[in-house]
Amino acid sequence: MTVLPIHNHGLDASRLILGCMGLGGGWTTDPIESAHVKQAQEAVETALDRGIHMFDHADIYAFGKAETVFGQVLQQNPALRERMIIQSKLGIRFPDEAKGVPARYDFSKEYILESVDGILSRLGIDYLDVLLLHRPDALMDAREVAEAFHQLKASGKARYFGVSNMSAGQIRLLQSQLSEKLVVNQLELSLNKIGWLETGIHVNQDAARNNIFPEGTLEYCQMENIQLQAWGSLAKGLYSGASLEDASDNVKSTASLVKRLAEEKQTSREAIVLAWLMKHPAAIQPVIGTTDPSRIQACAEAENVELSRDEWYSLYVSSRGVSLP
């Protein structure tokens, strides 16, 4: 699989990332079972065999069990760590019902440092290759975040830093206090969630009023060499086998087009969906959330798919449901 140098920051990552939210037995407090470890082991081995060596976590996934079960896989085979780039996210706090406190975000220095220690403990590793802030904290003090990042870097607990779900303005604010460049912004980008494209297409158009994707974010990340990662890249399987019983007409027509292109190119539907994202000049790095070995293999085929400009636009226009302005 092609190596993506995270926009010249020296971190050679695979073109695809395996998202690990589905590991650990789900969003319950039930204990981890041997079947969950086996599932994680098979997903990891399949990914590595297909050249996918970057893995995306978050401290909240499966209430921490996703990281824990991944750590158990590493414990069984410690040599795997040197073949991996491991990324995790922090900053989302669950509700504390006993204290009457709702779910909230927390980028305080104390919480960042505490969270990283928890992540490393669950994964059973000494450092994270990349640490991301999960969702914007309305009370973020950029100077305090910078202090936490500096301490993590100095201690060797995190090597690179980035963000998730942030606009260009939020990244600029944070970057203004940091001594080193942020390397990643992870956003929801897919053939179904196309606001990132619509923002540019709808310049000087009334339709722009209904688009919530922050204007200029895509361009800013490209200009500043911030790697764009796409969560939700497979659009929950809408175009690769999920039930379309309640889907809109444009989703159904797009699913049909994806299927036709996959048949013509003798590849998987997953590969077509991902290749569409990967054709964009921003060098988008899709995060695939499946733990099914057969789907991981199907996704890996995306690197061998070349969509023409006409095919790319056919998929885009089909997804949006109306002609371009």
Domain ranges of the chain: 3-237+280-291
Instruction: Output the six-digit token pair for 220.
Output: 């800013």
Q: Which residue has the tokens 């909230």?
A: 104
Tell me whether residue 111 is one of the annotated catalytic residues. no
Tell me the C-alpha to C-alpha distance, in Å, between residue 60 and each of 89, 127, 310: 8, 18, 41
Q: Quote the pLDDT of residue 211.
A: 86
The number of CA neighbours under 13 Å toward the Cβ of 41 is 13
Q: Quote the pLDDT of residue 7.
A: 52
Task: For the chain, 325 residues long, give each residue's pLDDT as a single digit of tens.
Answer: 666 666 557 789 999 999 999 999 999 999 999 999 999 999 999 999 999 999 999 999 999 999 999 999 999 999 999 999 999 999 999 999 999 999 999 999 999 999 999 999 999 999 999 999 999 999 999 999 999 999 999 999 999 999 999 999 999 999 999 998 999 999 999 999 999 999 999 988 888 788 889 999 999 999 999 999 999 999 999 999 999 999 999 999 999 999 999 999 999 999 999 999 999 999 999 999 999 999 999 999 999 999 999 999 999 999 999 999 9
Query: In the structure, how many helices (H) and strands (E) does the chain have?
Result: 11, 12
Q: Quote the pLDDT of residue 207.
A: 82
The number of CA neighbours under 13 Å toward the Cβ of 127 is 16
Q: Quote the pLDDT of residue 5.
A: 62
**Which fold does the domain 3-237+280-291 belong to in CATH?**
TIM Barrel (3.20.20)
Query: Quick one: which of 36, 273, 225, 136 has its CA closest to 145?
Result: 136
Tell me the C-alpha to C-alpha distance, in Å, between residue 192 and each of 71, 166, 269, 284, 324: 33, 20, 14, 15, 16
- Residues 6+ positions from 252 with CB-CB distance below 8 Å: 244
Q: Quote the pLDDT of residue 210.
A: 83
**Secondary structure class of 161 (helix, strand, coil):** strand
Whole-angstrom distance, CA of residue 277 vs CA of residue 265: 17
- Choosing from 61, 105, 127, 313, the catalytic residue is 61
Q: Quote the pLDDT of residue 212.
A: 85
